[in-house]
A and B are shown apart, each in its own frame.
Chain A
Amino acid sequence: MADTTEKPAVGHPGTRPARGDAPVPAPAPRRARFWRRLTPWLFLAVPLALLIAFTYAPIVNMVAYSFTDWDGVSPELHYTGTENYTELLTRSDLFEVFFVSGYYLAASAVQIVVALWFATVLSFDVRFRNFFKGVLFFPYLINGVAIGFVFLYFFQDGGTLDSVLALFGYHSDHAWLGTPVSANTSLAGVSVWRYLGLHFVLFLGAIQSIPGELYEASELDGANRWHQFRHIILPGIKPVLTLTVILSVSGSLSAFEIPYIMTGGATGTETFVIQTVKLAFQFNKTGLASAAAVVLLLIILAVTWLQRRLVPDDRVDLV
Protein backbone atom coordinates (compact mmCIF):
# COMPACT_ATOMS: atom_id res chain seq x y z
CA MET A 1 0.00 0.00 0.00
CA ALA A 2 2.70 2.40 0.99
CA ASP A 3 4.77 2.13 -2.15
CA THR A 4 1.91 3.01 -4.47
CA THR A 5 1.77 6.48 -2.99
CA GLU A 6 5.42 7.05 -3.64
CA LYS A 7 5.52 6.05 -7.26
CA PRO A 8 3.80 9.08 -8.81
CA ALA A 9 6.43 11.28 -7.23
CA VAL A 10 9.10 9.81 -9.48
CA GLY A 11 6.74 9.66 -12.48
CA HIS A 12 6.46 12.30 -15.13
CA PRO A 13 5.75 15.68 -13.64
CA GLY A 14 5.20 17.17 -17.07
CA THR A 15 1.92 15.41 -17.62
CA ARG A 16 0.39 16.66 -14.44
CA PRO A 17 -1.85 19.72 -14.65
CA ALA A 18 0.03 22.83 -13.70
CA ARG A 19 -0.58 23.80 -10.12
CA GLY A 20 0.98 26.10 -7.61
CA ASP A 21 4.06 28.09 -8.45
CA ALA A 22 5.52 25.93 -11.21
CA PRO A 23 5.73 28.16 -14.29
CA VAL A 24 3.50 27.03 -17.13
CA PRO A 25 5.31 27.28 -20.44
CA ALA A 26 2.39 27.90 -22.83
CA PRO A 27 -1.14 27.96 -21.40
CA ALA A 28 -3.43 25.76 -23.46
CA PRO A 29 -6.45 27.42 -25.04
CA ARG A 30 -9.46 27.75 -22.75
CA ARG A 31 -11.50 25.03 -24.46
CA ALA A 32 -8.71 22.49 -24.24
CA ARG A 33 -8.17 23.28 -20.58
CA PHE A 34 -11.88 22.92 -19.92
CA TRP A 35 -11.98 19.47 -21.52
CA ARG A 36 -8.86 18.40 -19.75
CA ARG A 37 -10.38 19.28 -16.43
CA LEU A 38 -13.64 17.62 -17.34
CA THR A 39 -12.14 14.31 -18.48
CA PRO A 40 -11.60 12.75 -15.03
CA TRP A 41 -15.15 13.69 -14.08
CA LEU A 42 -16.49 12.02 -17.20
CA PHE A 43 -14.76 8.82 -16.22
CA LEU A 44 -16.09 9.18 -12.70
CA ALA A 45 -19.64 10.03 -13.70
CA VAL A 46 -21.02 6.50 -13.90
CA PRO A 47 -19.50 5.13 -10.69
CA LEU A 48 -20.41 8.32 -8.86
CA ALA A 49 -23.98 8.17 -10.08
CA LEU A 50 -24.25 4.55 -8.97
CA LEU A 51 -22.65 5.33 -5.63
CA ILE A 52 -25.02 8.22 -4.98
CA ALA A 53 -28.12 6.41 -6.21
CA PHE A 54 -27.55 3.15 -4.38
CA THR A 55 -25.50 4.09 -1.34
CA TYR A 56 -25.83 7.69 -0.28
CA ALA A 57 -29.41 8.41 -1.31
CA PRO A 58 -30.78 5.40 0.61
CA ILE A 59 -28.71 6.38 3.64
CA VAL A 60 -30.05 9.92 3.58
CA ASN A 61 -33.54 8.48 3.12
CA MET A 62 -32.99 6.17 6.07
CA VAL A 63 -31.83 9.03 8.26
CA ALA A 64 -34.91 10.98 7.21
CA TYR A 65 -37.20 8.05 8.07
CA SER A 66 -35.56 7.69 11.46
CA PHE A 67 -37.24 10.93 12.50
CA THR A 68 -40.71 9.72 11.52
CA ASP A 69 -43.24 7.14 12.70
CA TRP A 70 -43.50 5.54 9.24
CA ASP A 71 -44.76 1.93 9.13
CA GLY A 72 -43.09 1.10 5.83
CA VAL A 73 -46.09 1.33 3.55
CA SER A 74 -48.70 3.84 4.66
CA PRO A 75 -48.74 7.01 2.55
CA GLU A 76 -49.02 9.00 5.75
CA LEU A 77 -45.99 9.59 7.92
CA HIS A 78 -45.51 12.03 10.72
CA TYR A 79 -42.40 13.81 11.86
CA THR A 80 -41.73 12.77 15.45
CA GLY A 81 -38.47 14.53 16.13
CA THR A 82 -35.94 12.54 18.11
CA GLU A 83 -38.60 10.30 19.67
CA ASN A 84 -37.25 7.15 18.00
CA TYR A 85 -33.74 7.83 19.27
CA THR A 86 -35.01 8.50 22.77
CA GLU A 87 -36.93 5.23 22.70
CA LEU A 88 -33.89 3.35 21.43
CA LEU A 89 -31.55 4.72 24.06
CA THR A 90 -33.97 4.31 26.97
CA ARG A 91 -35.00 0.73 26.23
CA SER A 92 -32.24 -1.41 27.61
CA ASP A 93 -33.70 -4.60 26.10
CA LEU A 94 -32.80 -3.29 22.65
CA PHE A 95 -29.11 -3.28 23.54
CA GLU A 96 -29.01 -6.63 25.31
CA VAL A 97 -28.60 -8.25 21.91
CA PHE A 98 -25.06 -6.89 21.73
CA PHE A 99 -24.01 -9.64 24.13
CA VAL A 100 -24.54 -12.02 21.24
CA SER A 101 -21.92 -10.06 19.29
CA GLY A 102 -19.44 -11.21 21.90
CA TYR A 103 -19.60 -14.73 20.50
CA TYR A 104 -18.87 -13.47 17.01
CA LEU A 105 -16.08 -11.24 18.31
CA ALA A 106 -14.43 -14.20 20.02
CA ALA A 107 -14.90 -16.23 16.87
CA SER A 108 -13.22 -13.50 14.80
CA ALA A 109 -10.17 -13.62 17.04
CA VAL A 110 -9.90 -17.37 16.41
CA GLN A 111 -10.53 -16.77 12.74
CA ILE A 112 -7.76 -14.21 12.37
CA VAL A 113 -5.22 -16.42 14.11
CA VAL A 114 -6.14 -19.46 12.04
CA ALA A 115 -6.21 -17.48 8.79
CA LEU A 116 -2.82 -15.98 9.59
CA TRP A 117 -1.38 -19.39 10.37
CA PHE A 118 -2.62 -20.91 7.11
CA ALA A 119 -1.52 -17.87 5.10
CA THR A 120 1.99 -18.07 6.55
CA VAL A 121 2.32 -21.80 6.05
CA LEU A 122 1.00 -21.70 2.52
CA SER A 123 3.17 -18.79 1.46
CA PHE A 124 6.21 -21.05 1.83
CA ASP A 125 6.89 -23.97 -0.42
CA VAL A 126 4.40 -26.61 0.60
CA ARG A 127 3.20 -29.59 -1.36
CA PHE A 128 -0.31 -29.12 -2.91
CA ARG A 129 -0.07 -25.49 -1.96
CA ASN A 130 -2.56 -24.24 -4.56
CA PHE A 131 -4.99 -27.00 -3.78
CA PHE A 132 -5.08 -26.03 -0.12
CA LYS A 133 -5.47 -22.37 -1.04
CA GLY A 134 -8.52 -23.31 -3.09
CA VAL A 135 -9.97 -25.43 -0.32
CA LEU A 136 -9.63 -22.62 2.19
CA PHE A 137 -11.07 -19.94 -0.05
CA PHE A 138 -13.95 -22.04 -1.38
CA PRO A 139 -16.49 -21.50 1.46
CA TYR A 140 -16.37 -17.76 0.88
CA LEU A 141 -17.65 -18.26 -2.67
CA ILE A 142 -20.81 -20.04 -1.56
CA ASN A 143 -23.98 -18.08 -1.16
CA GLY A 144 -24.74 -17.30 2.49
CA VAL A 145 -28.29 -18.62 2.24
CA ALA A 146 -27.05 -21.96 0.97
CA ILE A 147 -24.54 -22.12 3.80
CA GLY A 148 -27.33 -21.49 6.30
CA PHE A 149 -29.39 -24.38 4.97
CA VAL A 150 -26.45 -26.74 4.67
CA PHE A 151 -25.50 -26.13 8.28
CA LEU A 152 -29.07 -26.63 9.46
CA TYR A 153 -28.72 -30.22 8.26
CA PHE A 154 -25.23 -30.33 9.67
CA PHE A 155 -26.40 -29.50 13.20
CA GLN A 156 -29.61 -31.53 13.05
CA ASP A 157 -30.30 -34.24 15.59
CA GLY A 158 -28.57 -37.23 13.97
CA GLY A 159 -27.25 -34.93 11.24
CA THR A 160 -23.81 -34.67 9.66
CA LEU A 161 -22.00 -33.51 12.77
CA ASP A 162 -23.49 -36.25 14.92
CA SER A 163 -22.69 -38.91 12.32
CA VAL A 164 -19.11 -37.72 11.98
CA LEU A 165 -18.66 -37.73 15.74
CA ALA A 166 -20.17 -41.21 15.84
CA LEU A 167 -17.47 -42.38 13.40
CA PHE A 168 -14.95 -41.51 16.06
CA GLY A 169 -16.93 -43.37 18.65
CA TYR A 170 -18.45 -40.33 20.28
CA HIS A 171 -22.23 -40.65 20.40
CA SER A 172 -23.45 -37.22 21.32
CA ASP A 173 -26.98 -36.55 22.36
CA HIS A 174 -26.49 -32.85 22.11
CA ALA A 175 -28.94 -30.43 20.50
CA TRP A 176 -26.36 -28.16 18.88
CA LEU A 177 -28.77 -25.27 18.42
CA GLY A 178 -30.69 -26.12 21.56
CA THR A 179 -29.38 -23.72 24.20
CA PRO A 180 -28.32 -20.09 23.78
CA VAL A 181 -24.63 -20.81 24.51
CA SER A 182 -24.40 -23.84 22.27
CA ALA A 183 -26.47 -22.22 19.50
CA ASN A 184 -24.41 -19.03 19.45
CA THR A 185 -21.16 -20.97 19.52
CA SER A 186 -22.33 -23.14 16.63
CA LEU A 187 -23.45 -20.12 14.60
CA ALA A 188 -20.22 -18.27 15.27
CA GLY A 189 -18.39 -21.42 14.19
CA VAL A 190 -20.27 -21.35 10.89
CA SER A 191 -19.29 -17.76 10.31
CA VAL A 192 -15.65 -18.59 11.02
CA TRP A 193 -15.89 -21.36 8.43
CA ARG A 194 -17.39 -18.96 5.96
CA TYR A 195 -15.15 -15.91 6.34
CA LEU A 196 -11.88 -17.69 7.05
CA GLY A 197 -11.17 -17.83 3.30
CA LEU A 198 -11.55 -14.12 2.78
CA HIS A 199 -9.15 -13.20 5.56
CA PHE A 200 -6.78 -15.93 4.48
CA VAL A 201 -6.61 -14.47 0.97
CA LEU A 202 -6.06 -10.96 2.30
CA PHE A 203 -3.17 -12.17 4.45
CA LEU A 204 -1.73 -14.30 1.68
CA GLY A 205 -1.71 -11.37 -0.72
CA ALA A 206 0.00 -9.16 1.82
CA ILE A 207 2.60 -11.80 2.69
CA GLN A 208 3.44 -12.39 -0.96
CA SER A 209 4.12 -8.70 -1.50
CA ILE A 210 7.04 -8.98 0.91
CA PRO A 211 10.24 -9.21 -1.17
CA GLY A 212 11.76 -12.71 -1.19
CA GLU A 213 15.32 -11.48 -0.60
CA LEU A 214 14.39 -10.61 2.94
CA TYR A 215 13.84 -14.25 3.77
CA GLU A 216 17.11 -15.25 2.14
CA ALA A 217 18.98 -12.56 3.99
CA SER A 218 17.41 -13.50 7.28
CA GLU A 219 18.22 -17.15 6.73
CA LEU A 220 21.87 -16.24 6.26
CA ASP A 221 21.66 -14.46 9.56
CA GLY A 222 20.39 -17.68 11.12
CA ALA A 223 16.72 -16.83 11.55
CA ASN A 224 14.25 -19.67 11.88
CA ARG A 225 10.65 -19.71 10.66
CA TRP A 226 9.33 -18.15 13.85
CA HIS A 227 11.87 -15.33 13.67
CA GLN A 228 10.89 -14.72 10.07
CA PHE A 229 7.23 -14.60 11.01
CA ARG A 230 7.78 -12.35 13.99
CA HIS A 231 10.18 -9.87 12.41
CA ILE A 232 9.39 -9.93 8.70
CA ILE A 233 5.86 -11.13 8.06
CA LEU A 234 4.04 -9.60 10.98
CA PRO A 235 5.39 -6.07 10.51
CA GLY A 236 5.04 -6.46 6.75
CA ILE A 237 1.35 -7.14 6.81
CA LYS A 238 0.44 -4.80 9.63
CA PRO A 239 -1.86 -2.54 7.56
CA VAL A 240 -3.80 -5.55 6.28
CA LEU A 241 -3.95 -6.97 9.78
CA THR A 242 -5.46 -3.72 11.10
CA LEU A 243 -7.94 -3.72 8.25
CA THR A 244 -8.96 -7.30 9.02
CA VAL A 245 -9.47 -6.51 12.67
CA ILE A 246 -11.68 -3.57 11.78
CA LEU A 247 -13.68 -5.70 9.35
CA SER A 248 -14.07 -8.41 11.98
CA VAL A 249 -15.27 -6.05 14.67
CA SER A 250 -17.82 -4.35 12.46
CA GLY A 251 -18.82 -7.73 11.06
CA SER A 252 -19.36 -9.10 14.57
CA LEU A 253 -21.52 -6.16 15.55
CA SER A 254 -23.65 -6.50 12.43
CA ALA A 255 -23.80 -10.31 12.13
CA PHE A 256 -27.01 -11.19 10.36
CA GLU A 257 -27.19 -13.66 7.48
CA ILE A 258 -26.20 -16.90 9.13
CA PRO A 259 -28.16 -16.57 12.40
CA TYR A 260 -31.19 -15.16 10.55
CA ILE A 261 -31.41 -18.06 8.14
CA MET A 262 -30.53 -20.77 10.61
CA THR A 263 -32.47 -19.81 13.71
CA GLY A 264 -34.31 -16.60 12.86
CA GLY A 265 -33.01 -15.18 16.13
CA ALA A 266 -34.68 -17.83 18.28
CA THR A 267 -33.09 -19.32 21.41
CA GLY A 268 -31.12 -16.20 22.29
CA THR A 269 -29.29 -15.86 18.97
CA GLU A 270 -30.83 -12.53 18.05
CA THR A 271 -28.25 -10.00 16.87
CA PHE A 272 -28.74 -6.27 16.58
CA VAL A 273 -29.44 -6.43 12.84
CA ILE A 274 -31.96 -9.25 13.22
CA GLN A 275 -33.69 -7.18 15.87
CA THR A 276 -33.75 -4.19 13.52
CA VAL A 277 -35.20 -6.29 10.72
CA LYS A 278 -37.87 -7.58 13.07
CA LEU A 279 -38.76 -4.08 14.18
CA ALA A 280 -39.11 -3.01 10.57
CA PHE A 281 -40.85 -6.02 9.04
CA GLN A 282 -42.67 -7.78 11.87
CA PHE A 283 -43.78 -4.85 13.93
CA ASN A 284 -43.86 -2.36 11.05
CA LYS A 285 -41.85 0.23 12.93
CA THR A 286 -39.76 1.38 9.99
CA GLY A 287 -39.03 4.69 11.69
CA LEU A 288 -37.66 3.05 14.83
CA ALA A 289 -35.76 0.47 12.79
CA SER A 290 -34.13 3.23 10.72
CA ALA A 291 -33.04 4.91 13.92
CA ALA A 292 -31.60 1.59 15.10
CA ALA A 293 -29.70 1.25 11.83
CA VAL A 294 -28.32 4.77 12.20
CA VAL A 295 -27.22 4.00 15.75
CA LEU A 296 -25.47 0.82 14.58
CA LEU A 297 -23.71 2.81 11.86
CA LEU A 298 -22.54 5.34 14.43
CA ILE A 299 -21.34 2.61 16.79
CA ILE A 300 -19.32 0.97 14.03
CA LEU A 301 -17.83 4.30 12.97
CA ALA A 302 -16.92 5.03 16.58
CA VAL A 303 -15.30 1.63 17.07
CA THR A 304 -13.33 2.02 13.84
CA TRP A 305 -12.18 5.48 14.81
CA LEU A 306 -11.12 4.25 18.25
CA GLN A 307 -9.19 1.42 16.67
CA ARG A 308 -7.37 3.74 14.29
CA ARG A 309 -6.40 5.92 17.24
CA LEU A 310 -5.13 2.99 19.30
CA VAL A 311 -3.31 1.32 16.42
CA PRO A 312 -2.20 4.04 14.03
CA ASP A 313 -1.64 2.90 10.48
CA ASP A 314 2.17 3.11 10.39
CA ARG A 315 4.11 3.04 7.20
CA VAL A 316 5.68 -0.24 6.35
CA ASP A 317 9.37 0.07 5.77
CA LEU A 318 11.01 -3.27 5.67
CA VAL A 319 13.65 -2.28 3.16
Chain B
Amino acid sequence: MNRDLSRRTKLVLYGVLLVLAIPFVFPTWWMVTSSLKPVADIFAFPPQLLPTNPRFDAYQRVFELQPFGQQYLNSLYIALVVTVGTMAVAALAGYAFARIRFRGQNVLFLVVLAGLLIPSEVTIVPLFQMFFKLGLVDTHWPLILVPIFGAPSVLATFIMRQFFISLPGELEEAARVDGLGRFATFWRIALPLSRPALGAVAIFTFLHSWNLYLEPIVFLSSPEKFTLPQALTQFVDAYGGPMWDVQMAAASMTALPVLVVFVIAQKQFVEGLAHTGLKG
Protein backbone atom coordinates (compact mmCIF):
# COMPACT_ATOMS: atom_id res chain seq x y z
CA MET B 1 0.00 0.00 0.00
CA ASN B 2 2.85 2.34 -0.77
CA ARG B 3 0.90 5.09 -2.42
CA ASP B 4 1.25 8.82 -1.92
CA LEU B 5 -1.20 10.26 0.52
CA SER B 6 -2.95 13.58 0.66
CA ARG B 7 -1.93 16.12 3.29
CA ARG B 8 -5.12 15.61 5.22
CA THR B 9 -4.81 11.84 5.29
CA LYS B 10 -1.28 12.24 6.55
CA LEU B 11 -2.38 14.48 9.42
CA VAL B 12 -5.11 12.02 10.42
CA LEU B 13 -2.63 9.14 10.30
CA TYR B 14 -0.15 10.99 12.49
CA GLY B 15 -2.93 11.73 14.97
CA VAL B 16 -3.98 8.08 15.10
CA LEU B 17 -0.38 6.91 15.52
CA LEU B 18 0.26 9.40 18.32
CA VAL B 19 -2.83 8.35 20.28
CA LEU B 20 -2.01 4.67 19.74
CA ALA B 21 1.53 5.24 21.01
CA ILE B 22 0.37 6.45 24.45
CA PRO B 23 -0.22 3.05 26.11
CA PHE B 24 3.08 1.82 24.70
CA VAL B 25 5.20 4.70 25.89
CA PHE B 26 3.47 6.08 28.97
CA PRO B 27 4.06 3.09 31.33
CA THR B 28 7.81 3.17 30.76
CA TRP B 29 7.87 6.94 31.15
CA TRP B 30 5.82 6.62 34.33
CA MET B 31 8.13 3.92 35.68
CA VAL B 32 11.23 6.04 35.27
CA THR B 33 9.76 9.33 36.49
CA SER B 34 8.01 7.72 39.48
CA SER B 35 11.29 6.23 40.63
CA LEU B 36 12.54 9.80 41.08
CA LYS B 37 9.53 11.03 43.08
CA PRO B 38 8.65 10.77 46.77
CA VAL B 39 5.71 8.40 47.32
CA ALA B 40 3.28 11.24 47.97
CA ASP B 41 4.05 12.74 44.55
CA ILE B 42 3.54 9.39 42.82
CA PHE B 43 -0.10 9.55 43.81
CA ALA B 44 -0.42 13.29 43.24
CA PHE B 45 -3.42 14.41 41.27
CA PRO B 46 -3.30 15.58 38.56
CA PRO B 47 -0.34 13.27 37.85
CA GLN B 48 3.04 14.96 37.48
CA LEU B 49 4.57 14.06 34.18
CA LEU B 50 7.96 15.18 35.44
CA PRO B 51 9.20 14.93 39.04
CA THR B 52 9.24 18.42 40.63
CA ASN B 53 12.46 17.82 42.51
CA PRO B 54 13.98 14.55 41.35
CA ARG B 55 15.76 12.50 43.99
CA PHE B 56 17.59 9.23 43.94
CA ASP B 57 17.06 7.84 47.41
CA ALA B 58 14.67 5.13 46.15
CA TYR B 59 17.61 3.82 44.11
CA GLN B 60 19.69 3.66 47.25
CA ARG B 61 17.00 1.84 49.21
CA VAL B 62 16.71 -0.83 46.49
CA PHE B 63 20.17 -2.04 47.51
CA GLU B 64 19.52 -1.75 51.25
CA LEU B 65 16.31 -3.81 51.26
CA GLN B 66 17.61 -6.78 49.27
CA PRO B 67 20.92 -8.11 47.93
CA PHE B 68 19.90 -6.39 44.71
CA GLY B 69 23.42 -6.09 43.32
CA GLN B 70 23.88 -9.82 43.68
CA GLN B 71 20.47 -10.50 42.14
CA TYR B 72 21.37 -8.25 39.25
CA LEU B 73 24.57 -10.17 38.65
CA ASN B 74 22.67 -13.47 38.91
CA SER B 75 20.28 -12.43 36.15
CA LEU B 76 23.08 -11.05 33.99
CA TYR B 77 25.38 -14.05 34.15
CA ILE B 78 22.53 -16.56 33.78
CA ALA B 79 21.25 -14.71 30.72
CA LEU B 80 24.73 -14.48 29.20
CA VAL B 81 25.62 -18.13 29.81
CA VAL B 82 22.24 -19.26 28.47
CA THR B 83 22.59 -17.04 25.40
CA VAL B 84 26.08 -18.24 24.48
CA GLY B 85 25.18 -21.85 25.24
CA THR B 86 21.99 -21.73 23.20
CA MET B 87 23.81 -20.17 20.25
CA ALA B 88 26.36 -22.99 20.30
CA VAL B 89 23.84 -25.82 20.70
CA ALA B 90 21.41 -24.38 18.15
CA ALA B 91 24.01 -23.47 15.54
CA LEU B 92 25.58 -26.93 15.62
CA ALA B 93 22.30 -28.82 15.52
CA GLY B 94 20.70 -26.44 13.02
CA TYR B 95 23.69 -26.80 10.72
CA ALA B 96 23.71 -30.60 10.90
CA PHE B 97 19.98 -30.87 10.26
CA ALA B 98 20.26 -28.51 7.30
CA ARG B 99 23.55 -29.46 5.66
CA ILE B 100 24.71 -32.93 6.65
CA ARG B 101 23.08 -36.18 5.53
CA PHE B 102 23.02 -38.89 8.15
CA ARG B 103 20.88 -41.91 8.86
CA GLY B 104 17.74 -41.29 10.93
CA GLN B 105 17.97 -37.57 10.33
CA ASN B 106 14.26 -36.95 9.87
CA VAL B 107 13.21 -39.02 12.86
CA LEU B 108 15.77 -37.32 15.09
CA PHE B 109 14.64 -33.92 13.85
CA LEU B 110 11.08 -34.80 14.84
CA VAL B 111 12.27 -35.85 18.31
CA VAL B 112 13.92 -32.46 18.72
CA LEU B 113 10.95 -30.58 17.26
CA ALA B 114 8.72 -32.09 19.95
CA GLY B 115 10.20 -29.39 22.19
CA LEU B 116 8.30 -26.80 20.18
CA LEU B 117 5.06 -28.55 21.00
CA ILE B 118 5.71 -29.12 24.66
CA PRO B 119 5.91 -25.88 26.61
CA SER B 120 8.27 -25.98 29.59
CA GLU B 121 5.27 -25.38 31.89
CA VAL B 122 4.01 -28.88 31.04
CA THR B 123 7.21 -30.45 32.32
CA ILE B 124 7.89 -28.20 35.31
CA VAL B 125 6.73 -30.78 37.90
CA PRO B 126 9.05 -33.61 36.74
CA LEU B 127 11.88 -31.16 36.08
CA PHE B 128 11.56 -29.93 39.65
CA GLN B 129 11.66 -33.52 40.86
CA MET B 130 14.70 -34.36 38.73
CA PHE B 131 16.68 -31.41 40.00
CA PHE B 132 15.48 -32.07 43.55
CA LYS B 133 16.87 -35.63 43.39
CA LEU B 134 20.16 -34.28 42.04
CA GLY B 135 20.33 -31.82 44.95
CA LEU B 136 20.27 -28.88 42.53
CA VAL B 137 17.16 -27.10 43.81
CA ASP B 138 18.02 -23.59 45.01
CA THR B 139 20.95 -23.46 42.62
CA HIS B 140 21.15 -21.78 39.22
CA TRP B 141 21.71 -25.06 37.35
CA PRO B 142 18.06 -25.64 36.36
CA LEU B 143 17.83 -22.08 35.03
CA ILE B 144 20.93 -22.65 32.91
CA LEU B 145 20.74 -26.27 31.74
CA VAL B 146 17.06 -26.48 30.78
CA PRO B 147 17.04 -23.37 28.55
CA ILE B 148 20.32 -24.27 26.82
CA PHE B 149 19.49 -27.89 26.04
CA GLY B 150 15.74 -28.23 26.56
CA ALA B 151 12.57 -26.88 25.01
CA PRO B 152 13.57 -23.17 24.82
CA SER B 153 16.56 -23.88 22.57
CA VAL B 154 14.51 -25.90 20.09
CA LEU B 155 13.09 -22.76 18.51
CA ALA B 156 16.64 -21.46 18.15
CA THR B 157 17.72 -24.70 16.48
CA PHE B 158 14.76 -24.44 14.13
CA ILE B 159 15.63 -20.84 13.23
CA MET B 160 19.26 -21.77 12.59
CA ARG B 161 18.25 -24.75 10.44
CA GLN B 162 15.97 -22.57 8.31
CA PHE B 163 18.81 -20.14 7.85
CA PHE B 164 21.43 -22.74 6.91
CA ILE B 165 19.03 -24.32 4.41
CA SER B 166 18.88 -21.01 2.56
CA LEU B 167 22.66 -20.67 2.31
CA PRO B 168 24.05 -21.38 -1.17
CA GLY B 169 25.98 -24.65 -1.17
CA GLU B 170 28.85 -23.60 -3.47
CA LEU B 171 30.92 -21.95 -0.74
CA GLU B 172 30.90 -25.06 1.35
CA GLU B 173 31.63 -27.29 -1.61
CA ALA B 174 34.67 -25.19 -2.36
CA ALA B 175 35.82 -25.38 1.24
CA ARG B 176 35.49 -29.13 1.22
CA VAL B 177 37.38 -29.45 -2.05
CA ASP B 178 40.16 -27.56 -0.31
CA GLY B 179 40.18 -30.32 2.27
CA LEU B 180 38.35 -28.68 5.16
CA GLY B 181 36.56 -31.10 7.50
CA ARG B 182 32.97 -30.70 8.56
CA PHE B 183 33.68 -28.74 11.68
CA ALA B 184 36.11 -26.42 9.96
CA THR B 185 33.59 -25.86 7.16
CA PHE B 186 30.94 -25.06 9.73
CA TRP B 187 33.16 -22.85 11.84
CA ARG B 188 34.98 -20.93 9.11
CA ILE B 189 32.40 -20.74 6.34
CA ALA B 190 28.82 -21.32 7.48
CA LEU B 191 28.87 -19.78 10.94
CA PRO B 192 30.28 -16.38 9.95
CA LEU B 193 27.60 -16.16 7.25
CA SER B 194 24.85 -16.87 9.74
CA ARG B 195 25.37 -13.72 11.78
CA PRO B 196 21.85 -12.29 11.19
CA ALA B 197 20.20 -15.50 12.40
CA LEU B 198 22.64 -15.84 15.28
CA GLY B 199 21.96 -12.26 16.28
CA ALA B 200 18.23 -12.84 16.37
CA VAL B 201 18.71 -16.04 18.34
CA ALA B 202 21.00 -14.24 20.78
CA ILE B 203 18.57 -11.43 21.49
CA PHE B 204 15.54 -13.73 21.76
CA THR B 205 17.39 -15.99 24.14
CA PHE B 206 18.67 -13.14 26.27
CA LEU B 207 15.17 -11.66 26.53
CA HIS B 208 13.66 -15.03 27.36
CA SER B 209 16.15 -15.72 30.12
CA TRP B 210 15.94 -12.18 31.46
CA ASN B 211 12.15 -12.44 31.74
CA LEU B 212 11.96 -15.96 33.15
CA TYR B 213 9.67 -15.95 36.17
CA LEU B 214 7.95 -19.30 36.81
CA GLU B 215 11.20 -21.28 36.85
CA PRO B 216 13.04 -18.99 39.30
CA ILE B 217 10.18 -18.92 41.76
CA VAL B 218 9.85 -22.71 41.54
CA PHE B 219 13.55 -23.50 41.84
CA LEU B 220 15.01 -20.74 44.01
CA SER B 221 14.35 -19.95 47.66
CA SER B 222 17.33 -17.96 48.93
CA PRO B 223 17.15 -14.21 48.25
CA GLU B 224 20.83 -13.99 47.33
CA LYS B 225 20.19 -16.50 44.53
CA PHE B 226 17.07 -14.76 43.18
CA THR B 227 16.92 -13.37 39.69
CA LEU B 228 15.63 -9.87 38.95
CA PRO B 229 11.98 -10.57 38.00
CA GLN B 230 11.63 -12.49 41.23
CA ALA B 231 13.38 -9.79 43.25
CA LEU B 232 11.18 -7.03 41.83
CA THR B 233 8.08 -8.41 43.52
CA GLN B 234 9.78 -8.57 46.94
CA PHE B 235 9.86 -4.84 47.63
CA VAL B 236 6.93 -4.75 50.02
CA ASP B 237 6.43 -3.02 53.34
CA ALA B 238 5.66 -4.68 56.67
CA TYR B 239 2.00 -4.99 55.71
CA GLY B 240 2.68 -6.65 52.37
CA GLY B 241 1.88 -3.49 50.46
CA PRO B 242 4.20 -2.57 47.60
CA MET B 243 6.81 0.16 48.14
CA TRP B 244 6.08 1.93 44.91
CA ASP B 245 9.02 4.29 44.62
CA VAL B 246 11.49 1.50 45.36
CA GLN B 247 9.73 -0.93 43.01
CA MET B 248 9.80 1.62 40.22
CA ALA B 249 13.48 2.31 40.81
CA ALA B 250 14.29 -1.40 40.74
CA ALA B 251 12.09 -1.94 37.69
CA SER B 252 13.82 0.94 35.86
CA MET B 253 17.20 -0.59 36.52
CA THR B 254 15.93 -3.94 35.20
CA ALA B 255 15.07 -2.38 31.89
CA LEU B 256 18.54 -0.91 31.40
CA PRO B 257 20.64 -3.85 30.09
CA VAL B 258 17.97 -4.93 27.65
CA LEU B 259 17.69 -1.36 26.41
CA VAL B 260 21.45 -1.27 25.86
CA VAL B 261 21.38 -4.60 24.00
CA PHE B 262 18.45 -3.40 21.94
CA VAL B 263 19.99 -0.06 20.98
CA ILE B 264 23.19 -1.79 19.89
CA ALA B 265 21.48 -4.59 17.99
CA GLN B 266 18.16 -3.08 16.94
CA LYS B 267 18.75 -3.40 13.23
CA GLN B 268 19.81 -6.99 13.52
CA PHE B 269 16.95 -7.78 15.85
CA VAL B 270 14.21 -6.41 13.65
CA GLU B 271 15.74 -7.86 10.50
CA GLY B 272 16.32 -11.20 12.12
CA LEU B 273 12.77 -11.24 13.39
CA ALA B 274 11.37 -10.34 9.99
CA HIS B 275 13.61 -12.92 8.42
CA THR B 276 12.50 -15.75 10.65
CA GLY B 277 8.92 -14.66 10.15
CA LEU B 278 9.18 -14.84 6.39
CA LYS B 279 10.78 -18.23 6.60
CA GLY B 280 8.01 -19.63 8.73
Q: Do A and B bind each other?
A: no
